[in-house]
Amino acid sequence: MKNKFYSHLLKIEPIHDKFSQIDIKEDEKESLLEILHSHIHVTVIDVILSELDEGKKKEFLHLVAVREDHSGAWDFVVTNIEQGEEKVKAAIEQIVKEFLSDLEADL
Amino acid sequence: MSKKGFSYKKLHKKWSEIHRNQQEQLLKKHKDALTHLSNNSKQYAISAVGGLMLLTTPVNLQLESGNSKVQYEKVNKNLFLVADLEPLIPNDFREFTDSENQAISKKLSDFYGMDIKYEIDNKRLNTTYGYIGAEQHLMRYPGDTEATHFETPQEAEEFMSSGLAPGRGAWGYFAQSKDALTKDDIEREKYYIAVQTFLAPDYLNRVGEYRDFFKYRKMLLVNPHNGKAMVVVIGDSGPAKWTNKHLGGSPEVMRYLERYDGGQKGPVLFYFINDPENKIPLGPVE
């Protein structure tokens, strides 16, 4: 998985642990993780953009999508969004929690 | 210790849907900023995906394991169309007015680079927006059966269960014999729709004119909820008015557009493609 500006908040070890306990093919596991990572990414972007005005949104998108400046993007989040880190962290944790819950429900 | 089994397909399907919905929400909520980025970034212009590509990681939306094809470009481009169409389609289900048809056909023309029309030479269908139902395969030539119909075992496995209609389509057989069957005939049957030709304006006074016009007329079919589109031909007439459906799609069409019959039925847009030189191929629009 490519490094992201929020990678330091990404804790998905419980999901890897759960995968190790179930009968799942390697390509299936990769496919599910791909969706999970992509979903987290889109959600994090949404959480951040929802806190910004139009001008700041464009500024942030430029940092992430054009310059791919992860460090700059994270600085931007904590500087421009009140409790930005907490909001991003909470969004990621909620997704991981729901994914784990679905994984367990399907066992 | 033996490992526990679980339903991969079910989980994959659920989270693909969740993710797709989230992508749509992102686009709707922040469209101006994303479009600005799309229009002003050299990288975006080169990638030609028009938007979210650099914001999203690839997503495999195939349900079957081992058949992983990354589809993020297509998915993301489609989402832009979904967002663009949403304000053009009325919330209440009804036939479109001419001005609505003009706006939608222009949007589709611009997006797909085709000449999309709701009327050609004063000929049109009863509607351009309707509920689609599932049709069966059509016999392509005398003696075509389920055993001869499919080109590959994989096709047979995927589509045989839809069955073969006992009668011929409105235009008869696609070819007069198996030997006379061409690639065009095969594709016409594979990518066909049935439309209510008999409900076209002034149909009874213009039967011959309309019959020639509708026969294998090329059309663009779009699922406005996911942006998937397919170039198809009018291969049959129907369904009956009492079914409360407005057109039917071949098994291949229904599968690609992700439309289902019965309680889960959904609407599609269907417009003529003005392609006098027959340059636009049938099948999914990638």
- Cβ contacts below 8 Å, chain A against chain B, sum to 117
Query: Is the domain of B74 the same as that of B205?
Result: no
| A102–B41 C-beta distance less than 8 A | no
Q: How many separate domains does chain A show?
A: 1
Cα–Cα distances in Å, from B61 out to A50, A100, A105?
26, 20, 21
Cα–Cα distances in Å, from A67 out to A60, A73, B42, B56, B257?
10, 9, 11, 15, 36
- Tell me how far apart the alpha carbons of residues B274 and B117 are, in angstroms, rounded to a whole number: 7
Does the residue A5 lie in any domain?
no
Amino acid sitting at position B118: Y
Does the residue B219 lie in any domain?
yes
Token pair for B247: 């057109």
| pLDDT in the model for residue B2 | 55
Which residues of chain A fall short of a pLDDT of 50?
none
Query: Is the domain of B137 the same as that of B80?
Result: no
Does the residue A8 lie in any domain?
no
Report the complex ipTM.
0.93
| Residue A69, min C-alpha distance to chain B (Å) | 13
Does the residue A12 lie in any domain?
no
Length reported for chain A: 107
Residue holding tokens 């709707």?
B28
Residues of B in contact with A54 (CB under 8 A): 32-33
Amino acid sitting at position B163: G
- Tell me how far apart the alpha carbons of residues A39 and B20 are, in angstroms, rounded to a whole number: 8
Does the residue A101 lie in any domain?
yes
What's the CATH number where B215 sits?
A: 2.40.40.10
pLDDT by position in tens, chain B (length 286): 556 667 888 899 899 889 888 888 888 888 888 877 766 554 443 233 333 444 444 443 333 333 333 343 333 567 778 878 888 999 889 999 999 999 999 999 999 999 999 999 999 999 999 999 999 999 999 999 999 999 898 898 889 888 999 888 899 999 999 999 999 999 999 999 999 999 999 999 999 999 999 999 999 999 998 889 999 999 999 999 999 999 999 999 999 998 888 877 889 999 999 999 999 999 999 7
| Residue A59, min C-alpha distance to chain B (Å) | 9
- What is residue B4's DSSP assignment? B
> What is the extent of the structural domain holding B63?
8-88
Question: B229 has which bridge partners?
Answer: B222
Work out the burial of residue B79: count CB atoms within 10 Å of its CB; fewer than 13 is exposed, 13-18 middle, 19 or more buried.
buried
- Tell me how far apart the alpha carbons of residues B183 and B224 are, in angstroms, rounded to a whole number: 29
| B60–A35 C-beta distance less than 8 A | yes
Amino acid sitting at position B21: N
| pLDDT in the model for residue B91 | 85
> What is the extent of the structural domain holding A91?
25-105
Query: Of B43, B69, B88, at which residue does a domain stop?
Result: B88
Amino acid sitting at position B83: A
Work out the burial of residue B164: count CB atoms within 10 Å of its CB; fewer than 13 is exposed, 13-18 middle, 19 or more buried.
middle
- The minimal CB distance from A107 to the residues B4, B22, B23 is found for B4
| A31–B65 C-beta distance less than 8 A | yes
- What is residue B161's DSSP assignment? G
- What is residue B244's DSSP assignment? T
Query: Is the domain of B251 the same as that of B125?
Result: yes
| pLDDT in the model for residue B64 | 35
Buried b (16+ CB within 10 A) or exposed e, A7-20: eebbebeebeebbe
- In chain A, which residue's Cα lies nearest the Cα of B55? A65
Helix (H, G, I), strand (E, B) or coil at B55: helix
